[in-house]
Structure 1
Amino acid sequence: MTDEATAGVIARALGEELRRAREARGWSRAQFVKGLPSQIGDRTLLAYEHGLRQITMLRLLELAEGLGVPASVLVAQAMQRARLYLQNLVLRVDLRQLLQDNNMNYRPLSSWARNRLNRAPGGVIEVTPSGVWELAAVLGRTPQELSAYFAKFTPDDATEGEVEAVPA
């Protein structure tokens, strides 16, 4: 993929995360932009949400603050959904979704996921890159394979909620 194509994929994925977070709060575009200090228009927000317009860092920080979600969470989840640079991300994994998967190559993760679910009542955990490396070694998989597998179980929203971290 070219840099330009990658930038487009990232812009669309980030826009989708912004939209998800906004809709999770039950806000229309007009309601959301009304509360922002910069008073951007709802057409500008629409362009961001559809990946038609690049978001500056300053604007991303403003939008994230308005949504009550750290910008880092929005970016990481966008990258995870786009399946880009997974090896560099703290991956958010919905354990309930993972436990419903029947992929035999990753069946040994079931016990691990059930145990983690007992300590993460919200069902979502964060797996660090070093955690992915360790679990991949146990499974006899590459970290890239396991990261791609975990990315399939990205939670539906970008809210912080109760998230249990999986240390290195």
Structure 2
Amino acid sequence: MVRIDEAAYQSALGAELRALRRTRRWTRKELVARLDTEISVQTLASYEQGVRHCSVVRFVELCQALGVLPHDVLDRVGSRVFACSPVGRTAVDVRRAAGVREPEYAPLRRWAVQRGGTGPKVVYLDASALASLAALCGVEPAVLAARLEKLDKGA
């Protein structure tokens, strides 16, 4: 089981709320004025900085004021927090992928070579990234996933 880094999640949630507010070019004071319940500008700042927990009800209220769906915000936050997590993703050993020789996997090889020595040895692709890479390789996502699993086992 993957352990959730609470501080990282809180920080990502705050960053997402701040980005949404800034996209609308609102000050914290302007967002607070749009809420149905009263909170201080300092409280909003502490949510955005990830130093204070936001209740579910307050989170939904903030999302409504920002004109976004809460589950969309949580999806983006989850993508940030779990970007290096295997949960629901396909593992790619970048170094091994750089050595793939089958012609149809040339896009996979080029991507892995471009990553070179930067970043983690293993990265995790979500379903949409796997589908995009499979399309570039001209294979079905399940076929690419099976090939990546063989790479993971050293085959």
TM-score, structure 1 length as denominator? 0.54
Aligned-pair identity (%): 25
Where do 4+ consecutive residues of structure 1 move more than 3 Å? 84-89, 126-134
Contact persistence 1:87–1:129 (CA under 8 A): no
Q: CA 1:105/1:57 → structure 2, altered by over 3 Å: closer, same or farther?
A: same
Q: Distance in 2 between matches of 1:29 and 1:44?
A: 10
Name the structure 1 match of 2:68: 69
Q: CA 1:69/1:51 → structure 2, altered by over 3 Å: closer, same or farther?
A: same
Amino acid at match of 1:28: T
Q: Distance in 2 between matches of 1:28 and 1:103?
A: 46
TM-score, structure 2 length as denominator? 0.58
Q: Distance in 2 between matches of 1:22 and 1:103?
A: 40
Q: CA 1:130/1:33 → structure 2, altered by over 3 Å: closer, same or farther?
A: same
Q: Which has the larger radius of gyration?
A: 2
Q: CA 1:105/1:61 → structure 2, altered by over 3 Å: closer, same or farther?
A: same
- TM-superposed CA distance for 1:141, in Å, is 2.7
Tell me if 1:58 matches 2:64.
Answer: no
Q: Distance in 2 between matches of 1:103 and 1:52?
A: 42
Q: Distance in 1 between matches of 2:109 and 2:16?
A: 27
Residue deviations 1:116-138, cap 9 Å, x none? Answer: xxxxxxxxxx9569969963642
| CA RMSD of superposed structures (Å) | 3.6
**Structure 1 range deviating more: 22-31 or 72-81:** 72-81
Residue deviations 1:12-53, cap 9 Å, x none? Answer: 000000000010000000000111001211111100001101
Q: Distance in 2 between matches of 1:80 and 1:86?
A: 12
Tell me if 1:104 matches 2:110.
Answer: yes
Name the structure 2 match of 1:32: 31
Q: CA 1:74/1:141 → structure 2, altered by over 3 Å: closer, same or farther?
A: same
Name the structure 1 match of 2:13: 14
